[in-house]
Chains A and B, each alone.
Chain A
Amino acid sequence: MWDYSEKVQEHFFNPKNAGAVADANAIGEVGSISCGDALRLTLRVNEETETIEDAGFQTFGCGSAIASSSVLTEIIKGLTLDEALKVTNQDIANELDGLPPEKMHCSVMGREALQAAVANYRGEEWKDDHEEGALICKCFAIDAVMIEEMVVANNLRTVEDVTNFTKAGGGCAACHEDIEGILTKVLAERGEKFDPNAAPIEVAASAKEKMPMTNLQRIKKIEEVLDKLRPQLMADGGNVELVEVIGNTAYVNMTGACSGCQMAAMTIGGIQQRLMEELGEFIKVVPASQMPKAAAAGA
């Protein structure tokens, strides 16, 4: 059985706001094909203030899907629609004290239901913008579709490339056979053969071509995002410090309770995810201890 947190169990065994809201004026219906889970979120929105007065959920799904739905309704009640749209799937997972990597998509489903409901209220059509595949890298929760897209988009050739671009395979390395399988398939489609000894792509060089941002802009932007994340880290007694940015790699120091924490790698993964979302480009976050020697001397 999954190692669910107390919070997940609490929300599963005693779900809040189960059922449809009476006279709802915003309805979001989404499903995650990967789990066969589906969720209907109903909201009553005050038309004057655009505040969510009531929220209810109906979920066909597993323990963490029900818990994610329940906690989502708790988070968004009382928020304005614009505030609610800022809720990320990570916020949902955090509120549950974390979810197993295989179950993160349950929190994604919650966020999507919310977006769909707001779109419904505003008379817009909501379209899902991502597809989920089989989970390949369990350390960083990266699925097959994501890896395949990155391999195609960036002409990746080796497992190391895939790790550099997606983080997949950067942890325990048990998924390297699966990543090789994806590479073999995609390379065959463009008439190439997978060569385990091929030289990896120079990450910085390939990233430079499609980066309209200057390095200074990028550093400023990264600082901005880190500032936004700071309160969350500080709530857990930790902090993060930006040490250097080289190309698209950000070197950071995890300080306070975050330093040496077992979860540091996960936290760094979360920061990277957020940076990529906000900067709209590939960013790799690496502990400053792994900075190349020459750069460290200059920093």
Chain B
Amino acid sequence: MNAIYLDNNATTRVDPLVVEAMLPYFTEQFGNPSSIHRFADGVAKGIKQARHQVQELIGCEHDSEIIFTSCGTESDSTAILSAIKAQPDRKEIITTTVEHPAILSLCEYLEKEGYTIHRMPVDKIGRLDLDAYKSLLSDRVAIVSVMWANNETGTLFPVVEMAEMAHAAGVMFHTDAVQAVGKIPMMLKDTKIDMLSLSGHKLHAPKGIGVLYLRRGTRFRPLLRGGHQERGRRAGTENSAAIVGLGKACELALANIEHENTVVKAMRDRLERSIVELIPNCFITGDVENRLPNTTDIAFEYIEGEAILMLLNKAGIAASSGSACTSGSLEPSHVMRAMDIPYTAAHGTIRFSFSRYNTMEEVDEVLKVMPDIAANLRKLSPYWDGNGPVANPEQAFQPTYA
């Protein structure tokens, strides 16, 4: 049995067709696209084509709205810092409690610099309160940054509607869409989204390449100044091979988007349904009705995520967890905390994220080992007794906390 990779929200394997498209740009077409000689003449064309391929996938109006960056994080930082630099009188930022650290850490930093950060809370299944959002919009707000899809639960936020609301209030709107692009259809030209971040390695392109979509006419200040690359909006010699690879990956993602929402979704659905049936005391987190098709995040009560992952890994299965221990941080995942998932469940969350490379046979393999893994760890758990949790687990076991 080959290793089973179910951690595609962390990163994906590069599609062989993408590798093939990239190779010439390391060898024959290695020139600097700004040069005027035979080693470079294909490079500019390759980049142009890639820009077009990205444009097709996200449905934006102009290919000049695509700015290639080095990663999703750079795109996020560029968007937020641009908005506050371009509008120095606006000192507030609206975001959510469940964003990726690429947004949250930057906001925390800006807070120290004197900005007011509105972090919108979510309910128990990870949904926002749009009335509360509306009341925060004002001419003091420099930018709203809300993720399209949550990396842990796959929960989708109504960013199209929220962008309309921001637009009506005259506020810029950015979305971190690194988990959404390529998994759900989008047509940016029909929306009021001003900026969007995407990351290549989440959709079978290599690591180290990202995009910031910047709606034409949106006021902008570059993060990196220097050469004229990307029309002066992101200086630095183009990562041409990666750009070409991302272009190809976008073309493939567009061709597979129906597959993603049918075949991949069916694998995800079968896995989570069966796990919940087979294993007592576990539940799916997030907004189950409104999620990415490839993601499921399951909380196994009274056992801990890292221990589950180590046993899964031994069985050749790769997934990830929201437990504190897998990150080295103090707290279990901020997303689980934001949804008010109890500690005894939040520490035992496991995310399985699929791609078009997975198969139903792999789902069967996971289903074969997962019940035993949960049962064996529960045998060690002070909250568990025989076939079920001890009566009143939170009262029966009350350790002295350090």
Chain A interface residues (CB < 8 Å from chain B): 1, 9, 12-13, 15, 18-19, 29-40, 57-66, 100, 102-103, 105, 108-109, 112, 116, 126-128, 130-135
Contact = CB atoms under 8 A, between A and B. Distances in A.
Given A34-B324, A63-B306, A66-B307, A15 B402 contact: no
B3 interface: no
B379 A30 contact: no
B304 A62 contact: yes
Given A31-B402, A60-B344, A65 B330 contact: no
Contacts of A18: 379-380
Given A36-B323, A63-B310, 10 more contacts: A1-B310, A12-B307, A15-B380, A30-B399, A35-B330, A38-B399, A40-B399, A66-B307, A128-B400, A132-B330
B217 interface: no
Contacts of B328: 100, 102, 135
A9 B311 CA distance: 10
B37 interface: no
Interface string B141-173: 000000000000000000000000000000000
A59 B380 contact: yes
Contact of A29 (B307, B347, B382): B382
B401 A32 contact: yes
B402 A12 contact: no
Contacts of B281: none
Interface in B321-354: 323-326, 328-330, 332, 343-344, 346-347
Contacts of A116: 400
A61 B399 contact: no
A39 B399 contact: yes
A59 B324 contact: no
Instruction: Give the interface size class of chain B.
Output: 20 to 34
A108 B325 CA distance: 15
Contacts, number: 113
A34 B402 CA distance: 8
Contacts of B309: 1
A135 B328 CA distance: 8
A216 to B, nearest CB: 37
B313 interface: yes
Interface of B: 302-307, 309-311, 313-314, 323-326, 328-330, 332, 343-344, 346-347, 379-383, 397-402
Contacts of B381: 58-60
Most chain B Cβ neighbours within 10 Å, of A59, A105, A127: A59
A30 B302 contact: no
Nearest to A70: B380
Contacts of A102: 328
Interface of A is mostly: mixed
Nearest to A29: B399
Contacts of B399: 29-31, 38-40
B319 to A, nearest CB: 12
Contacts of B397: 29, 38, 40
A103 B329 CA distance: 10
A32 B402 contact: yes
A60 B303 contact: yes
9 contacts: A1-B326, A12-B310, A29-B399, A31-B401, A31-B402, A62-B325, A63-B306, A63-B310, A65-B325
A40 B382 CA distance: 6
Given A30-B402, A34-B324, A116-B400, A62 B329 contact: no
A61 B397 CA distance: 14
B400 A126 contact: yes
B382 A108 contact: no
A102 B306 CA distance: 14
A220 to B, nearest CB: 33
Contacts of B332: 36
Contacts of B400: 29-31, 112, 116, 126-128
Q: Taking each of A58, A65, A116, A127, which has the highest tally of chain B beta carbons within 10 Å of its own beta carbon?
A: A58
B325 A13 contact: no
